[in-house]
């Protein structure tokens, strides 16, 4: 656990570099506005990191505390360590699926999450575009789930690292071969699957909520295979806040307080 930050940072930086190159070599959609988006998204990530650094304990710290106190569901059973880690990881992914779904269901949560959806293009940098308010809400939610589960610290470390890497992967503007995409999305959220979630069409936006595993969308009826206008014809983002001024860092940080239509 003492190397948690280093491991997560290494995976994230490596993912940015790898998927950034793949997007240039094998783009899925034409790239139109990438140049100014990456610095803005990097700024969002820095502000978000500064905000979450103020959270006492943090998600990993909550796991260590729960373990030391012997509290949480999984700690009440004499499970082998590997089974406890696997179960905790699976349940954490399910919990994040429902967090994401609730962000779309309730207006006061959507105001924060909407910042992520007003991106008019999608690539690996979109994984950085989360409002610090949403990151703080997410941190509190994950800490509560970790404590309730009694999730082993190793499971939390693996989950947090893979969640960040998966976000880079499924936002990437990377053209996977159709056969590979069909095979992967049986279990994992792929770029083509997640891109549907960023459509301007309401029914498509409110689908494909999975983050790492795609099984939750299949299980809970939120899976959508493709956008109605196709991957190249679909419109990404929201109908409002598409102008260049609305895409600047300050405007994105202030966006939750504006009176915008839901879609």
The values of phi and psi at residue 196, to 5°, are -55, -35
Residue 33 inside a domain? The answer is no
Q: How many domains, in total, are found in the chain?
A: 1
Q: For residue 146, with 0-12 CB atoms within 10 Å meaning exposed, 13-18 middle and 19 or more buried, which class applies?
A: buried
Query: How many CB atoms sit inside 10 A of residue 232's CB?
Result: 9
Residue 262 inside a domain? The answer is no
Token couple for 250? 């300050």
The values of phi and psi at residue 231, to 5°, are -65, -30
Q: For residue 197, give its domain range.
A: 4-28+39-255
Write down the pLDDT at residue 261: 47
Per-residue pLDDT of the chain (263 residues; tens, 9 = 90+): 566 677 777 888 888 999 989 999 999 999 876 678 899 999 999 999 999 998 888 899 999 999 999 999 999 999 999 999 999 999 999 999 999 999 999 999 999 999 999 999 999 999 999 999 999 999 999 999 999 999 999 999 999 999 999 999 999 999 999 999 999 999 999 999 999 999 999 999 999 999 999 999 999 999 999 999 999 999 999 998 999 899 999 999 999 998 664 54
Alpha carbons 130 and 23: distance in angstroms, whole number: 21
Residue 139 inside a domain? The answer is yes
Enter the DSSP assignment of 255.
G
What is the CA 10 to chain-centroid distance, rounded?
Answer: 18
- CA-to-CA dists, residue 251 to 51, 135, 208, angstroms: 18, 17, 27
Write down the pLDDT at residue 260: 61
Closest to 155 in 3D by CA, of 232, 88, 225, 249: 88
Alpha carbons 122 and 111: distance in angstroms, whole number: 20
Q: Do 72 and 151 form a contact (C-beta atoms < 8 A)? A: yes
User: Looking at beta carbons, which pairs linking 97-100 to residues 24 or more positions away fall under 8 Å?
Assistant: 97/209, 97/210, 97/211, 97/213, 97/216, 97/217, 97/220, 99/138, 99/141, 99/142, 100/209, 100/210, 100/211
Question: Which value, in Å, is the radius of gyration of the alpha carbons in the chain?
Answer: 18
Write down the pLDDT at residue 262: 55
Residue 260 inside a domain? The answer is no
- Tokens 């989950």 -> residue: 159
Count of helices and strands (H, E) across the chain: 13, 0
Residue 263 inside a domain? The answer is no
In this structure, is the dihedral angle defined by the CA atoms of residues 15, 211, 79 and 4, taken in order, positive or negative? positive
Residue 134 inside a domain? The answer is yes
Residue 184 inside a domain? The answer is yes
Residue 34 inside a domain? The answer is no
């Amino acid at each position: 656990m003492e190397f948690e930050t280093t491991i997560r940072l290494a995976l994230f930086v490596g993912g940015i570099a790898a998927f950034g190159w793949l997007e240039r070599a094998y783009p899925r959609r034409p790239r139109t506005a990438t140049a100014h988006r990456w610095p803005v998204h990097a700024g969002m990530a820095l502000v978000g990191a500064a905000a979450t650094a103020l959270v006492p304990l943090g998600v990993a710290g909550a796991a260590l505390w729960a373990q030391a106190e012997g509290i949480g569901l999984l700690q009440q059973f004499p499970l082998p360590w590997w089974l406890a880690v696997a179960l905790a990881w699976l349940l954490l992914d399910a919990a994040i699926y429902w967090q994401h779904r609730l962000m779309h269901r309730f207006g006061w949560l959507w105001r924060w999450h909407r910042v992520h959806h007003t991106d008019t293009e999608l690539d690996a940098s979109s994984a950085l575009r989360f409002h610090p308010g949403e990151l703080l809400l997410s941190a509190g939610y994950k800490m509560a789930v970790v404590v309730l589960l009694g999730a082993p610290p190793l499971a939390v470390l693996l989950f947090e690292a893979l969640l960040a890497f998966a976000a880079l992967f499924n936002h990437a503007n990377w053209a996977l071969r159709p056969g590979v995409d069909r095979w992967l999305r049986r279990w994992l959220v792929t770029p083509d699957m997640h891109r549907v979630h960023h459509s301007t069409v309401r029914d498509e936006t409110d689908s494909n909520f999975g983050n790492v595993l795609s099984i939750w969308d299949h299980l809970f009826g939120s899976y959508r295979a493709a956008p109605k206008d196709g991957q190249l014809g679909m419109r990404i983002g929201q109908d409002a806040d598409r102008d260049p001024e609305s895409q600047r860092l300050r405007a994105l940080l202030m966006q939750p307080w504006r009176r915008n239509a839901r879609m």
